[in-house]
Amino acid sequence: MTSIASSDAGNLTVEPLSERNVSRIPLILPHERVFPIQIGSELFKLSGASLSSDAPSYFSQYFVCQLESAKERNDESSSAIRTLYIDRDPVIFRDISLHLQGYHVQPRDGEHFLYEESIFISIGHREFQIPREIFNDPGNSPNYFSLGFAAFFSRPDDLFPGLDREGLIRPPSILPPSVPKRSADTFAELLHFLRGYPIRIRDEAHRQDLLSDARYFHFKGLEQRLIPHSLSYNQATRRDEIVLRLENIQKSGVSVFISNTDPLTGFVQYARPYVDEKPAELVLEIGGETTKLHFSGSNARAEFFRDTKARVAKLLELVSSKLNFSQAIKTEHLTNHGQLTNLGNALLKEDLVRIVLEPESAIILDGKDYLEDFINAAASESSTNEYPRKRKRADGDSGDEEWVVTTGQWRLRIQNAPNGRGVECILVAAKLDAMSSQLSRNMSRSFLGS
């Protein structure tokens, strides 16, 4: 750090800062001398100390040049210093002059704010006074305001990005950031969360309002905190878990954990971008009746529909690419990457993904707990090749069965593919709410308005 002082020759010299002079005003202009500045229709007279306190600036540069010209002419009179004329608002400059003299000036509103103070933003015709550091959080910057109103977030040496200060006669006209078509109440809640307060969601409509505006203002970190999720620690597996809906999965948050003992087994992890410091085992929630389970003998597979099919395909393709990378690092002998299944392409071609229903899988089928059916069927499991968690059908019925899953939660497990064909990613049911017939679906209907 340095301070600027003027030498006898009139040239500016640089004096290193020290404990002795850190609180002193730089000697750029004579502190005892008064300099005239005409702002609009009003004349201001400021001392060299006031102008030097915020130097270098347009004022200090102008009057330094005036002093040097007067010295060359050997004219030390006060008339040798010309008045600086600036076509600006004298009312605003009166507050600026108070600031230069060392007084604290509190902005009255958005049109009156000073650079170092909080910024004013008008949302839904309500003004908000916001500390600048709130918008500097890495997870929430750049955002709508820093991108759309750069002049309000720039540095003093780059106050108007893209403009040449040397040839700038007057600054361009600017207004405080204003977003009249968004809710002021919702924005106030977003600010409350950005300040670090806990997020409390009243209902799903409230969550959607918050998410909509968080995405509009490009608060990515806050958005990740607002999306539906559940974090917990599973004592049985001794792993952290995170439950997320399929539509909220971000590419940057997906990772694959590969076992140190077996490089061809593992599970999919997830960490919310900008929020979570370490990943947790992913439990994927898929709803909307977009999943159908097909049971045929000892095989069980899932078929997906509409947007869910494309989303699952992209997720499995991403897992496949990360699996290739992880295995290439952990197993030097694995040089034939072609043996690793391209999971996303496989889904698009075959439309089916292998699933597993374990004894620990919580299943509600046709509105009833499926555990009782499973216990009754367990006795005959050893004498049949049918899928262990598939409901036993009456004699004469086909061995094939289909379930429509209303909502399901799945773990993504990495394991050896059958017949030694590399590895595969299967869905392991954690919790399912399913229907086995159209009758069951009709029974679950409700009348409009009820």
Q: Are residues 343 and 399 in the same domain?
A: yes
Beta bridge partners of residue 233, listed in sequence order: 240
Report the C-alpha gap between 82 and 97 in whole angstroms.
Answer: 19
Q: Of 69, 100, 131, at which residue does a domain stop?
A: 100
Number of domains in the chain: 3
Q: Of 56, 74, 100, at which residue does a domain stop?
A: 100
- In this structure, of 40-49, 171-180, 185-194, 228-237, the range with the lowest mean pLDDT score is 171-180
pLDDT at 329: 40
pLDDT at 26: 80
365 within domain boundaries: yes
pLDDT at 19: 46
| Percent of the chain predicted with pLDDT > 90 | 32
170 within domain boundaries: no
407 within domain boundaries: yes
Q: Are residues 124 and 203 in the same domain?
A: yes
pTM of the model: 0.66
Q: Are residues 148 and 14 in the same domain?
A: no
284 within domain boundaries: no
**CATH at 50:** 3.30.710
Between residues 373 and 284, which one has the greater pLDDT?
Answer: 284
Q: Are residues 301 and 405 in the same domain?
A: yes
pLDDT at 283: 97
pLDDT at 347: 52
- Condensed to tens digits (0 to 9), the pLDDT of residues 127-140 reads 888 777 777 777 88
pLDDT at 182: 92
pLDDT at 23: 53
Q: DSSP label at 27?
A: B
387 within domain boundaries: yes
Q: Are residues 314 and 438 in the same domain?
A: yes
pLDDT at 217: 92
Q: Are residues 376 and 300 in the same domain?
A: yes
252 within domain boundaries: no
Nearest Cα to Cα of residue 15 among 23, 28, 5, 6: 5
pLDDT at 2: 43
256 within domain boundaries: no
**CATH at 139:** 3.30.710.10
Q: Are residues 344 and 374 in the same domain?
A: yes
Average pLDDT value over all residues in the chain: 78
Q: Are 253 and 224 in contact (CB under 8 A)?
A: no
57 within domain boundaries: yes
Q: Are residues 77 and 189 in the same domain?
A: no
- In this structure, of 100-109, 313-322, 341-350, the range with the lowest mean pLDDT score is 341-350
Strand order in the sheet with 126-130: 126-130, 119-123, 178-179
- In this structure, of 45-54, 55-64, 152-161, 292-301, the range with the lowest mean pLDDT score is 152-161
Q: Are residues 39 and 117 in the same domain?
A: no
Residue 22 has pLDDT above 70, yes or no: no
- In this structure, the number of other CB atoms found within 10 A of the CB of residue 310 comes to 13
Q: Are residues 78 and 196 in the same domain?
A: no
- Condensed to tens digits (0 to 9), the pLDDT of residues 184-231 reads 999 999 999 998 888 899 999 999 999 999 999 999 999 999 999 999
Per-residue HEC secondary structure of 152-172 comes to HCCCHHHCCCCCCCCCCCCCC
- Condensed to tens digits (0 to 9), the pLDDT of residues 99-129 reads 888 888 776 665 555 454 567 788 998 888 8
Residue 303 φ then ψ, to 5° = -115, 135
Residue 298 has pLDDT above 90, yes or no: no
| Percent of the chain predicted with pLDDT > 70 | 71
Residue 427 has pLDDT above 80, yes or no: yes
Q: Are residues 29 and 95 in the same domain?
A: yes
Q: Are residues 89 and 116 in the same domain?
A: no
Q: Of 100, 125, 144, at which residue does a domain stop?
A: 100
Domain that holds residue 82: 2-100
